[in-house]
């Protein structure tokens, strides 16, 4: 009888233990029912070493520091309906603030902001609009953009200063943020060439049409390297993984994007960064302090520390911290003015004096 009772007790203990272990989900802290903060990924994942991960790290840092339950959700597909379903799940799960990284959330948040008036939303790289681009930002939505052209400019300038003249830009999909990175990259390379008196700088330029790591993207990067390209600015989420693999084989270099990607490959000499984590952290801090600034869009640039190169982890041989600080200061005070995505219909129309752009289909 004693043995039977002991078995029952042990079995019950095991069940309780398994239940407790199962209460953590999708990176959130343990909670029986609700998660106060939520992030919904776009087409990537929270470990994509790029846009989603940078955003999630900001949320996770704030949540862990303040002991706030949190969770991420991933839509089942790339559609407005799937994004709305994920938002529904987050709200039902108790989310007070939902972080939505990427332009794919513009239409879903346009609908969700009036459906869930007691929930606050932060959309990065986008602003809520209807299908016919009727923009409307409610007070429970904060819309954040970045001056990607400035980050791209820093990367292009540094590349040429460091001795690279045969460059490549491999973007993912031709959305405004990606275009701005590319146009800034060209302008930065051109200014550095003028300052150094270099007369031959070339940029191969393309959008691969996706944000994926794929054999096709790796093959394209490999062909560019084989044709003499020394360095490729990989501006397309997981596309960068394909470019890095090609660079490792060819013994060439890469510039990463969105977050510091130096740990991903020895080929990454620097990354054109946006302050994704800081942006999310600061917005959550403002919410909990009662000063959430919804109802408008803001663009974070050099004046607010919204863009940067990670100089501490960069692998430059000639480009110095002193030069970086000089260029950054000139961005802040307006001495350097950079055209954004409105300057030309395609990259070949970006105004340059030295740099020659070759569009690749």
Domain that includes residue 219, residue range:
148-273+308-359
| 10, part of any domain | no
**CATH number for the domain harbouring residue 117:** 3.40.50.2300
Structure tokens at 89: 């799940």
- Total domain count for the chain? 2
| 106, part of any domain | yes
Whole-number Å distance between alpha carbons of 335 and 338: 10
| 84, part of any domain | yes
Does one domain contain both 94 and 135? yes
| 78, part of any domain | yes
Does one domain contain both 90 and 209? no
Does one domain contain both 176 and 312? yes
Q: Does the pLDDT at position 150 exceed 90?
A: yes
Does one domain contain both 123 and 152? no
Residues 162 and 227 sit within 8 Å (Cβ to Cβ): no
Q: Does the pLDDT at position 29 exceed 60?
A: no
SS (HEC) of 180-220: HHHHHHHHHHHHHHHHHCCCCCEEEEEECCCCCCCHHHHHH
Does one domain contain both 329 and 200? yes
Residues 290 and 242 sit within 8 Å (Cβ to Cβ): no
Structure tokens at 335: 């001495």
Q: Does the pLDDT at position 20 exceed 70?
A: no
Whole-number Å distance between alpha carbons of 151 and 235: 11
DSSP 3-state assignment of 268?
strand
Helices (H), 273-354: 276-288, 321-332
pLDDT tens-digit readout, 273-331? 999 999 999 999 999 999 999 999 999 999 999 999 999 999 999 999 999 999 999 99
Note the pLDDT of residue 201.
Answer: 98
Other Cβ atoms less than 10 A from the Cβ of 221: the count is 28
From 95, 118, 146, the end of a domain falls on 146
The mean per-residue pLDDT over the stretch 133-137 comes to 94
Burial class (CB in 10 A: 0-12, 13-18, 19+), 167: buried
Burial class (CB in 10 A: 0-12, 13-18, 19+), 80: middle
DSSP annotation of 133: -
Q: Give the dihedral of Cα atoms 77, 80, 84, 86; nearest 10 deg.
A: 20
- Among the listed residues 75, 44, 289, 67, the one whose alpha carbon sits nearest the alpha carbon of residue 56: 44
Note the pLDDT of residue 284.
Answer: 98
Does one domain contain both 330 and 237? yes
Whole-number Å distance between alpha carbons of 312 and 320: 11
């Amino acid at each position: 009888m004693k043995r039977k009772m002991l078995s029952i007790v042990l079995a019950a203990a095991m069940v309780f233990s398994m239940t407790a272990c199962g209460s953590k989900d999708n990176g959130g802290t343990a909670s029986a029912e609700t998660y106060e903060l939520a992030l919904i990924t776009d087409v990537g994942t929270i470990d994509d070493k790029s846009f989603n991960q940078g955003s999630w790290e900001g949320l996770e840092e704030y949540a862990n520091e303040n002991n706030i339950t949190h969770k991420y959700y991933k839509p089942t597909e790339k559609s407005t309906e799937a994004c709305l379903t994920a938002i529904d799940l987050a709200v039902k799960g108790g989310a007070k603030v939902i972080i939505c990284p990427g332009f794919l959330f513009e239409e879903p948040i346009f609908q969700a902001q009036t459906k869930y008036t007691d929930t606050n939303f932060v959309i990065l790289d986008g602003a809520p609009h209807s299908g016919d681009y009727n923009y409307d930002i409610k007070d429970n939505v904060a819309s954040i953009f970045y001056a990607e052209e400035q980050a791209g400019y820093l990367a292009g300038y540094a590349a040429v200063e460091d001795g690279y003249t045969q460059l490549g830009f491999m973007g993912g999909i031709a959305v405004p943020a990606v275009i701005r990175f590319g146009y800034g990259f060209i302008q930065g390379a051109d200014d550095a060439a003028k300052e150094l008196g270099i007369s031959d700088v070339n940029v191969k330029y393309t959008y691969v049409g996706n944000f994926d790591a794929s054999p096709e993207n790796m093959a394209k990067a490999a062909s560019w390297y084989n044709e003499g390209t020394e360095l490729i600015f990989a501006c397309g989420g997981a596309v960068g993984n394909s470019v890095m693999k090609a660079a490792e084989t060819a013994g060439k270099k890469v510039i990463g994007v969105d977050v510091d990607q130096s740990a991903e490959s020895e080929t990454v000499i620097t990354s054109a960064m946006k302050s994704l984590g800081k942006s999310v952290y600061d917005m959550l801090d403002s919410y909990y302090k009662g000063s959430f600034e919804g109802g408008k869009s803001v663009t974070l640039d050099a004046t607010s520390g919204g863009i940067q190169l990670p100089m501490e982890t960069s692998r430059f041989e000639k480009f110095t911290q002193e030069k970086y600080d000089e260029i950054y200061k000139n961005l802040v005070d307006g001495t350097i003015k950079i055209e954004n995505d409105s300057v030309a219909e395609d990259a070949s129309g970006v105004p340059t004096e030295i740099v020659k752009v070759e569009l690749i289909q």
